[in-house]
């Protein structure tokens, strides 16, 4: 893969079969009454000009999305789930009946009876603009017929959200019962509440931060520097060249991956266990299982992700500060009209409890309805994906209660209307 | 610097003058009765074959070292200070009278009346084998007249220590009053206690771990992958080429640098402060000061460090497990005969309190003399270099007490001998 410039890299790519057993266990594919089965990825193209925060524009854009469950008659049961840095619209289910196929990225969370219960809710997930999984991004073809590459405008979290409003309009959804997301998904959920207060009833802000910290920026910048340093990156112009900046992107992903796990979970999963050997080699071979795991994660990522999209999306993360344009976080929240569920995890050192509290405290100061859970969990930032049982209890429970309240309100409203009608007849 | 393969990198190198103000403040150069002044770097070459843990050998090797203070008549006042990953023998003082010159890496700790008091102690520091600052390492010329590069054998912490014993023999020091070090220096200090129990009276183990964790290995492997991914690395053969793997080494250093600072210290130092601008640019320019700081640290490092040495030394770190060859940490410690001072720092997330306790607990179980301090400090791993006042109290106090005890013992021994002589006359 890098033959022109140097010898084969010592570690990338690794032997996939040997490494597969190191990966987090995915649910076994089986017919399961709670499981979303075959789904399609949809695309919708908007001709409108999308005005971006940077001052730039997108003259038309496409969003890839998927949907699960059924939109009810009054279109009041829609939940938008927003994905994180490396996610996409494939939230749950499978594209084929290949028993080897892995399901969507939050498959465990979405389905009949699951935490996002598709018996009740119509669940939507769309790929962000700037991404590379079906929505318009730097790898997309620009109006001049060539890939945008770095000509793509820098997008921010509020731009991503603005693009999603077009999709909601297209689907006929005026008000979302909830917007939910973990990590960068939480930022989008919060931005929905701030920018479109009339369109969101509940905001679920999970393992996220209302403002990226210095350390958050530092880790993202290292990922970007790894990509810049790859000569195949070629200042973003690699789409019509035979080589891609895979080595740089893999290093960026490895850096990211460490921040998603806790020291504790790395220790429990790998410790100092050796990879396919019984003795240390005292060489630059891959001795430790944790090294193989990182190589695998880095290498696999290059098969499905675009290096320029990685640059754009990490920039959106760095720029994220819900206070921007409002003077303070509290000011930004003042006009929001939704209920909030905020969740942080004890071992998450990427988006920490103090960062979650940067949202919770102003909400409390404003007297806005917020339910906050700090969950004891060992899996670091990934806990929000891994702690399915706890999350089902908290998220599923919250949604049930909110649905009940809104349903009761609706009945009450209905009865009141009937009463009113009766009175006036 | 990377012109052949691509456009100038967007961020490296930055404008040095603009960035200098971001750096940690160094002590102002002035005549100070407590300051070590001009020092020389010495070299000593040993013709002996150094047998290494890997099974490899070094057929002769050079050590660069510096020394401060005066060796006393009975050679009982020597302290060896061991350096960390990126350190060298230049512990304190200056090489020239250039007022711009920065002093050695632990200048604040070594000098008359300082924590390592050169009025009392003879303080030595040598560059590790595998390094690139005067001691034999991969950039050194092999017996065949060409640089070793990857032909250099993999060295471990106990190999580094074994090499240091030659230097102690050369200097006429049979027993060290103390071996001290932070980070990888702490590993070396501990290894001295285990491998040469008769030659060490006190072991000072600071911000370190008796065994590298899975997360420690993961961060080091990412640094190595960044170097491997640089085409100029060329499988280690770059010494006779015009270009060096500076981009990869800079990324490796940036990754390391984040692990040396705490989230708290990054936030306090940089937060979301912008670099030389008042508004976000919404571009791939360097908007945030923390980004500039990382670029500067990465770039400066390439001026003084060899990429292959970075590979070798991080490997030594990863291989470090004091239990190796002993079955358990407790077994490894059983035959040690020194007193221990162990220090960890509350915000150090590279080598944590639980890792320090992995040494302290077995020592306590064995009934060996250990004094343990967990210091509240906000600077992360770097706290051991930055918290000079607290460290002077703890380390200076400890050394004073131990010196007093050993001095009293000596007097008592002396008196006893005299008494015995008297009795027998």
DSSP annotation string for A249-317: HHHHHHHHHHHHS-HHHHHHHTTT-BSS-SS--SSSS--BHHHHHHHHHHHHHHHH--HHHHHHHHHHH
Residue B12 has pLDDT above 50, yes or no: no
Interface residue of A210, A224, A236, A251 to substitute, partner B, most B CBs within 10 Å: A251
The predicted model gives B48-53 an average pLDDT of 97
- Please say whether the dihedral angle defined by the alpha carbons of residues B359, B356, B132 and B70, taken in this order, is positive or negative: negative
- Which residues of chain A are within 8 Å of residue B55 when distances are taken between CB atoms? 282
Question: Among all residues of B, which ones are annotated catalytic?
Answer: 183, 348, 381
Whether chain B has a CB inside 8 Å of the CB on A350: the answer is: no
What pLDDT sits at residue B3? 30
* Separation of alpha carbons A40 and A152, rounded Å: 27
Cβ contact B290–A248 (<8 Å): no
CB contacts, 8 Å: B295 with chain A: 225
| Chain B contact present for A223, CB below 8 A | no
| Closest residue by Cα to residue A102 from A20, A15, A182 | A20
Residue A105 DSSP symbol: T
Whether residue A214 and residue B6 make contact (CB cut-off 8 A), yes or no, is no
Q: What is the C-alpha to C-alpha distance for residues B106 and B305, in angstroms, rounded to an integer? A: 18
Kindly determine whether residue A258 and residue B10, on different chains, have CB atoms separated by under 8 Å: no
Hey, is B313 helix, strand or coil?
A: helix
* pLDDT of B415 over the 80 cut: no
- Classify residue B26 by its DSSP letter: P
- B254 vs A2, A213, A222: nearest CB: A222
Q: How far is A298 from chain B (nearest CA, A)?
A: 10
Nearest to B206 by CA among B76, B398, B75, B27: B398
Residue B206: enclosing H or E segment and its boundaries? strand B202-206
Statement: residue A262 has pLDDT above 70: yes
DSSP-based three-state secondary structure for A175? coil
Q: Cβ of B263 under 8 Å from any chain A Cβ? A: yes
* pLDDT score, position B411: 61
Q: Is A222 in contact with B7 (Cβ distance < 8 A)?
A: no
> What is the pLDDT confidence band of residue A25, given thresholds at 50, 70 and 90?
very low
Mean pLDDT of B304-330: 98
**pLDDT score of B109:** 97
Residue A232: C-alpha distances to residues A309, B2, B173, B231 (Å): 15, 12, 54, 10
Q: Are strands A57-68 and A42-51 parallel, antiparallel or unpaired?
A: antiparallel
Minimum distance, in Å, between the CA of residue B320 and any CA atom of chain A? 10
* Residue A37 confidence (pLDDT): 85
Dihedral sign (CA A233, A234, A239, A242): negative
Residues of A in contact with B266 (CB under 8 A): 213-215, 218
Is residue A97's pLDDT more than 50? yes
Distance CA A311, CA A86 (A): 11
- Alpha-helix residue ranges (DSSP H) falling in B133-245: 157-171, 184-195, 214-228
ipTM: 0.90
Q: Do A272 and B228 touch (CB under 8 A)?
A: no
Mean pLDDT of A106-129: 97
Q: Whole-prediction pTM value?
A: 0.91
Whether the per-residue pLDDT at A412 is higher than 90: the answer is no
Phi, psi at residue B125, to the nearest 5°? Answer: -140, 130
Could you say which of B6, B228, B295 has the minimum Cβ distance to residue A235?
A: B6
Residue B116 bridge partners (DSSP): B110
Q: Is A263's CB within 8 Å of B318's CB?
A: no
pLDDT tier, B420 (very low <50, low <70, confident <90, very high otherwise): very low
What's the whole-number mean pLDDT along residues A202-214?
98
How many whole angstroms separate alpha carbon B92 and alpha carbon B27?
A: 12
Q: Is A57 within 8 Å of chain B by CB? A: no
Taking one residue from A and the other from B, the number of pairs with CB-CB distance under 8 angstroms is: 196
| B196-241 per-position pLDDT tens digit | 999 999 999 999 999 999 999 999 999 999 999 999 999 999 999 9
- B148-204 confidence digits (pLDDT tens): 999 999 999 999 999 999 999 999 999 999 999 999 999 999 999 999 999 999 999
Q: How confident is the model at residue B413 (pLDDT cuts 50, 70, 90)?
A: low
């Amino acid at each position: 893969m890098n033959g022109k410039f140097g010898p084969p890299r010592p570690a990338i790519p690794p032997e996939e079969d040997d490494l597969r057993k190191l990966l987090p266990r995915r649910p076994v594919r089986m017919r399961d009454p709670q499981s979303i089965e075959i789904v399609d990825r949809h695309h919708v193209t908007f001709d409108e000009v999308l005005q971006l925060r940077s001052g730039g524009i997108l003259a038309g854009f496409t969003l890839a999305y998927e949907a699960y469950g059924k939109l009810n008659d009054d279109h009041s049961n829609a939940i938008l789930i927003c994905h994180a840095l490396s996610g996409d619209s494939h939230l749950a289910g499978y594209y084929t009946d290949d028993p080897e196929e892995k399901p969507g990225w939050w498959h465990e969370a979405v389905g009949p009876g699951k935490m996002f219960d598709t018996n009740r809710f119509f669940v939507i997930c769309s790929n962000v603009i700037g991404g590379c999984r079906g929505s318009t991004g730097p790898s997309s073809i620009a109006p001049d017929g060539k890939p945008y590459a770095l000509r793509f405008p820098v997008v921010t979290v509020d731009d991503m959200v603005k693009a999603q409003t077009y999709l909601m309009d297209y689907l006929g959804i005026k008000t979302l019962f909830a917007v939910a997301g973990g990590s960068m998904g939480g930022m989008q959920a919060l931005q929905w509440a701030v920018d479109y207060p009339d369109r969101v009833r509940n905001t679920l802000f999970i393992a996220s931060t209302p403002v990226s910290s210095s350390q958050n920026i530092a880790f993202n910048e290292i990922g970007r520097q790894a990509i810049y340093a790859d000569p195949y990156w070629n200042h973003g112009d690699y789409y019509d060249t035979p080589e891609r900046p895979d080595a740089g992107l893999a290093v960026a992903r490895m850096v990211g991956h460490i921040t998603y796990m806790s020291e504790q979970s790395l220790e429990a999963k790998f410790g100092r266990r050796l990879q396919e050997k019984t003795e240390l080699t005292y060489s630059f071979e891959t001795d430790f299982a944790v090294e193989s795991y990182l190589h695998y994660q880095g290498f696999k990522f290059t098969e499905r992700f675009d290096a320029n999209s990685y640059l754009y999306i990490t920039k959106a993360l760095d720029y994220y500060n819900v206070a921007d344009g409002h003077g303070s976080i509290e000011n930004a929240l003042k006009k929001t009209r939704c209920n909030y569920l905020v969740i942080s995890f004890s071992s998450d050192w990427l988006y920490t409890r103090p960062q979650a509290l940067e949202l919770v405290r102003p909400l409390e100061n404003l007297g806005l309805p917020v339910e906050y859970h700090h969950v004891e969990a060992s899996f670091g930032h990934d806990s929000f994906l891994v702690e399915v049982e706890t999350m089902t209890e908290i998220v599923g429970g919250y949604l049930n209660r909110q649905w009940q309240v809104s349903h009761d309100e609706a009945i009450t409203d209905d009865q009141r209307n009937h009463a009113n009608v009766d009175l006036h007849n």
